Amino acid sequence: MSKKIVAIDMDDTICHLIPKAIQYHNLQYKNPQLTLDQITDYNLNEIWHPECSEEFFFGKPGLYEELELFDEYTIDEVHRMTHDYDVIVVTAARPSSVPEKWRWLQMHMPFIPFENFFVAKRKDLVEFDLLIDDGPHNAIAARKAGKQTILIPRPWNARIQHEFILKDSWKGMHELVDQILSDSNHQGDMK
Ligand SMILES: [Mg+2]
């Protein structure tokens, strides 16, 4: 039997994008100083400095290569998962950031081969059994398509957190994935 496919998002799931982008925003623009808790959706135009732009906030050259790992457990948990599952990394990336993201992945998770690196904003078009993601639109679309989901709780998905299985640390993520996918197997058996 082929392995089940676990799809893992990059930004704010295995690394911290928004905190780093906020840091650069606040260095450039003294007022207002953004905080993570203010980011309650992806519409940032209303809260960042009037001169800030998508390009500045999300497109700073080198930004994606210097992002910090989500936590100390991230690498080990993803690595262990690759033994039991077909782990794919699925990231919505602006074209200019793709090489940076691939280099980040190679630096931290060289066990992910390039054929398992998917650049896709429309993640609902990618085949997988379970998605680990912080993006509310991705979690909702996956669930709609009948896929299992684990939501990384962040301020921008607060309003849907009550609807999803949450995990705010990678510690024990492998076990949680095992549990969800074996439960869904049993549900399948009963049909
Ligand atoms: Mg994300």
**Which residue's entry shows tokens 């691939």?**
102
CATH code for residues 5-16+68-190: 3.40.50.1000
CA of 1 to the centre of ligand 1 (A): 30
Domain span(s) for CATH 3.40.50.1000 in the chain: 5-16+68-190
Instruction: Please state the φ and ψ torsions of residue 88, each to the nearest 5 degrees.
Output: -115, 145
Instruction: Please state the φ and ψ torsions of residue 14, each to the nearest 5 degrees.
Output: -110, -10
- State pTM to two decimals: 0.94
Write down the catalytic residue from 11, 12, 129, 134: 11
Confirm whether 9 is a catalytic residue.
yes
* pLDDT tens over the chain, length 191 residues: 689 999 999 999 999 999 999 999 999 998 889 999 999 987 888 889 999 998 999 989 999 999 999 999 999 999 999 999 999 999 999 899 999 999 999 999 999 999 999 999 999 999 999 999 999 999 999 999 999 999 999 999 999 999 999 999 999 999 999 999 998 776 655 44
